[in-house]
Chains A and B, each alone.
Chain A
Amino acid sequence: MNPVPLARWQFALTTIFHWLFVPLTLGLSLFIALVQTWYVRTGNEKYKQIARFFGPLLLLNFAMGVVTGIVQEFHFGLNWSEYSRFMGDIFGAPLAIEALLAFYLESTFLAVWYFGWDRLSKKAHLATAWLAALGTNISAYWILTANSFMQHPRGYTLQGGRALMADFFALITNPNIPFQFTHVLSGGLALAGFVVMAFAAWYLLKGREKELFGVAFRWGARFALIGSLLVGIIGHFQGQFVLQAQPMKMAAAEALWETEQPASFVVFAIPNERARTNALAIRIPYLLSFLSYNNFTARVEGLKDLEKAAVAQYGPGQYIPPVAVNFYAFRIMVLAGLLMIGLAALAVAAKRPESRPGLLKVLLWAPILPYLAGTAGWIVAEVGRWPWIVYGLLRIEDAISPNVSAGNIIFSLVILTGLYAVLSVLAFRLALKHGAQEAVGQAAEAY
């Protein structure tokens, strides 16, 4: 049995699980720090109660993010040892820096924040909230620095079959980072906004703690709107960048088989990878040219021509990534993003949300959208890089551990995904249970 697909499935599934928990910690840690700042500035206990209410939720997510994150750190050596040998000189550095700069900061100050309400002065305690949020978001920067190199290698030389770091500054200012980092960050803000709104909607629908959760709702709505707008706008420019850096990825995401000028945008289609065509395509003329180059008549390269160019550059081989997966994932991401903007706008516009039960009921379920969008976005980013694990430098099949058998991977795949599935269900139920506390004061004090 070929271990490569197994190793890929394991990495994909464990990363998707990991990413169910991380983005909420990015946004929610900032949300809590900001709400608590308002508490310290105004002295209004309501803000303190909101911050404390969402604290256990943050910790639960954080714990899940940490344990699934350790698996990812080990993963590069476990299943991708040849990748680690090839890339270690470059890739290990941001990982180690992430641990040193971010993990200590967030784990230490999140714990001090959670356990320290009565031990520190108001301002010192607020500082711990901000330091935890800072650590969490710095961590995203470093891991995306590492990922950016895989997407768009910069600042390296090749020597003795290994990629060596030639310029640390070029590594950490990779032009891919500003797009990817801000895209991920604003996605985290939007997710936090929707999660906060969902909890608030539950209370408002029950008619409990109306005043408190009215405030939480309005904050959540603003977070959701700002985050959703930013993630969409940044995503648009990121797409234009990726079109330059990895044209094959964007062509697959658009299922653009033939080069077109002007290029039409495929709203929906069923890509057929054998026949290399799309069935049932619904198209909007000129739109893809405009989205790609801000010019209605620009030429956009299709998959077939890009394949010819890749063969000319890298030699014979397969270069077209899985088109259907990319195409559908990209559409799910964009559609979810547009719905998020619409819903968040409605939520912000609702002056008296407690009298809008229809909207509140929709918002109870709305966090599904940012979760879907985040997962689909990473699928495009990672699957769209196929056949490369490091774009243009190292192929996926050359990167796996030669000494780890398919049997071993099946063993770990079953154990890890089984465990993750059980834990995710438990975490989700605990989070809902937390939301359904009898009294909010109790929710904050009881543990």
Chain B
Amino acid sequence: MDLNTLWFILITILFAGFFVLEGFDYGVGMLLPFLGKKDEERRIILNTIGPVWDSNEVWMITAGGAMFAAFPQVYATLFSGAYVALILMLVGLILRGVGFEFRSRSPSPRWRNTWDWLLFIGSLVPALLWGAVVGNLMRGLAIDARMTYWGGLLPLLNPFALWAGLTFVALFVMHGANFLALRASGEVEQRAKAVAFRAWIAAVILTVVFVVWAFFATDILTKPGVNGLVPAVLAAVALLLVGYFLRQGRFGWAFAMGALTFVLATVMVFAGLYPRILISTLNPAYSLTIYNASSSPYTLRVMTIVALVFVPIVLAYLAWTYKVFSDRVTGKKVIY
């Protein structure tokens, strides 16, 4: 396996980790104003992700950084091309990031309620837009011979991409509800358990339509050689198992199967893209691939050594953190 492929896989892993971890963060953020009726309940909800949301977001930053380091052309084409959408996503991420810190610093109900809704928006917008970005990655963009996309915002808001966005939202809400079922307590825990199943139904409907649509509208599931069909089937099985375990009341398993769904769905998308990263709809020869968009072999070697040394260390202390904060959050243990 060459280093270009290795880095393609590493970035797949980073995005999978990002969707699994920030997925439930976004979901919890979207559920916050609905599952928390009283201030104390909302604080319980915020404190379930309080110690982890920031390091979860680092997965996105690292995925972006790794993309920049390994495939700088992709980074340049995608970020400049999706300019307005990404600015809106940044606004969402900013509101979300400060919301956690700002909300608790004043007891005023109006202040807190305002930030709860900003946290909702700051979780919804990135979830929706990440879905739309993935949808457009699968469909391809009108990229020209100079690796530049000139189309602006409107073509990115096509029905397929928007459907992908809604699918992401539903999956994240389901994932967040499963997480709250595990980590929250009292009323919140009960409401989360009730919501999880309904969110699952919505997620299944949206996902089935999305996958069928993708089968006909993209080559992600059908292209010769490596494609996303097998991971797509496995992801569907994992998603169905989420519902099965929710019915059984086994929320730990439901959460794990949800996480597995995200991993397999990410693998589906990247396998379907491989060896392309950004598909050009103008001419297949204009597509950005892991070869024409990559850094030099030297840089990839350096980065490989750095990753091999430090990724295991990072994973070890992240696992430790989740162990330290693995118990349920009750009214007595809120910090935010």
Identify the A interface with B (CB < 8 A): 56, 59-60, 63-64, 66-68, 70-71, 73-74, 76-79, 81-82, 84-85, 87-93, 95-101, 103-105, 107-112, 114-116, 119-120, 164-166, 168, 401-405, 408, 411-412, 415-416, 419, 423, 426-427, 430, 433-434, 447
Contact = CB atoms under 8 A, between A and B. Distances in A.
A397 B274 CA distance: 34
A415 B91 CA distance: 8
A103 B64 CA distance: 13
Given A88-B76, A401-B80, A404-B80, 10 more contacts: A70-B97, A79-B80, A92-B295, A93-B295, A95-B65, A108-B317, A111-B55, A168-B298, A419-B94, A427-B102
Contacts of A85: 72-73, 76, 147
A111 B90 contact: no
Of A71, A84, A99, A119, most buried by chain B (CB within 10 Å of CB) is: A99
**Main SS at interface, chain A:** helix
B80 A433 contact: no
B106 A430 contact: yes
A412 B87 CA distance: 7
A92 B310 contact: no
Interface in B97-124: 97-98, 100-102, 104-106
Contacts of A70: 57, 61, 90, 93-94, 97
Contact of B104 (A66, A82, A447): A447
Given A88-B73, A165-B299, A108 B68 contact: no
Contacts of A434: 105
B58 A89 contact: no
Interface stretch (B26-34, B261-269, B318-326): B318-326
Contacts of A423: 94, 98
B69 to A, nearest CB: 3
B68 A77 contact: yes
Interface in B43-69: 50-52, 54-55, 57-58, 61-62, 64-69
Contact of B58 (A97, A107, A120, A419): A107
A82 B76 contact: yes
B87 A92 contact: no
B86 A74 contact: yes
A430 B72 CA distance: 39
B324 A120 contact: yes
Contact of B62 (A82, A96, A109, A419): A96
Contact of B314 (A92, A100, A411): A100
A64 B105 CA distance: 14
Contacts of B104: 447
17 contacts: A68-B94, A70-B94, A73-B64, A84-B75, A85-B147, A88-B68, A88-B295, A91-B68, A97-B306, A104-B318, A111-B50, A111-B321, A403-B83, A403-B150, A416-B91, A419-B91, A430-B105
A402 B76 CA distance: 11
B83 A93 contact: no
Of B79, B91, B311, most buried by chain A (CB within 10 Å of CB) is: B79
A115 B325 contact: yes
Contacts of B299: 89-90, 92-93, 164-165
Interface in B285-336: 295-296, 298-299, 302-303, 306-307, 310-311, 314, 317-318, 321, 324-325, 334-336
B148 interface: yes
Given A67-B93, A77-B80, A104-B62, A84 B72 contact: yes
B167 to A, nearest CB: 24
B69 A164 contact: no
B174 interface: no
When A and B form their complex, which 7 residue pairs have the shortest distance between CB atoms, in order from nearest?
A88-B72, A77-B79, A92-B69, A92-B68, A96-B65, A401-B80, A81-B80
Contacts of A89: 72, 295-296, 299
- How many chain B residues sit at the interface, stated as a range, is 35 or more
Given A64-B98, A447-B335, A403 B55 contact: no
Contact of B303 (A77, A79, A82, A96): A96
B75 A99 contact: no
B36 to A, nearest CB: 16
Contacts of B83: 78, 401, 403-404, 408, 412
Contacts of A107: 54-55, 57-58
Of A64, A71, A100, most buried by chain B (CB within 10 Å of CB) is: A100
Contacts of B50: 111, 115
A81 B303 contact: no
A100 B90 contact: no
B296 A78 contact: no
Contacts of B318: 104, 108
A63 B97 contact: yes
A434 B107 CA distance: 12
Nearest to B66: A96
A151 B158 CA distance: 42
B169 interface: no
Contacts of A73: 61, 64-65
B70 interface: yes
B105 A77 contact: no
A99 B65 contact: yes
Nearest to A124: B324
Contacts of A401: 76, 80, 83
B149 interface: yes
A77 B76 contact: yes
Contacts of B298: 164-166, 168
B98 A63 contact: yes
Contact of A403 (B51, B54, B149, B324): B149
Contacts of A93: 69, 295, 299, 302-303, 306
Of B69, B78, B295, most buried by chain A (CB within 10 Å of CB) is: B69
Nearest to A159: B296
B68 A164 contact: no
Nearest to A118: B333
B81 interface: yes
A426 B111 CA distance: 11
A126 to B, nearest CB: 15
B245 to A, nearest CB: 29
A71 B94 contact: yes
A402 B149 CA distance: 10
A161 B300 CA distance: 19
A88 B87 contact: no
Of B66, B105, B302, B321, most buried by chain A (CB within 10 Å of CB) is: B105
B128 to A, nearest CB: 17
